[in-house]
Structure 1
């Protein structure tokens, strides 16, 4: 359940609310005159697969099945 807190109450106990969000993961809605104004939530880093990161980065390769000759191989080293 999301907690709703007024701006004045949030200002007085901001660090306490930050710790609550960090530990529980539940967001807090800060209200202004009863209307939602802000949402405080934990940032979650998305860990992506390295192959997923590379997906779509090669736009075109003319000869994918041709062998690599010695000159090209030396350049790759």
Structure 2
């Protein structure tokens, strides 16, 4: 594991983070030789299912979906 002093890490932070992301190797940050932090790459992304379309195929159509839900006389909007 690579070790880097905190002052050098501060000066090159973005480059160190990019190197960790690219190589997948962690970097230990030290202050006066004592470890203070460890920069590790994130876990690999899972190929999980997107929430879009996640419910596809789970619904059922029961009955007639085209006809009105009730009788014509029950609808005020259809009254003359």
Q: Is this a same-fold pair by TM over 0.5?
A: yes
In the alignment, structure 1 residue 35 sits paired with structure 2 residue 37: no
Structure 2 gaps, min length 5: 50-58, 61-80
Cα deviation, residue 45, structure 1: 3.8
In the alignment, structure 1 residue 23 sits paired with structure 2 residue 31: no
Say what the alpha-carbon RMSD is for the aligned residues.
Answer: 2.0
Structure 1 stretches of 4+ with a deviation exceeding 2 A read: 45-50
Decide which structure has greater helix share.
1
Write the distance in 2 (CA, Å) between the matches of 1:21 and 1:49. Answer: 24
Write the distance in 1 (CA, Å) between the matches of 2:39 and 2:21. Answer: 10
Cα deviation, residue 49, structure 1: 8.0
Secondary structure in structure 2 of the residue aligned to 1:44: coil
Structure 1 gaps, min length 5: 51-75
Secondary structure in structure 2 of the residue aligned to 1:11: helix
Cα deviation, residue 32, structure 1: 1.1
TM-score normalized with structure 2 length? 0.55
- Which structure: larger Rg? 2
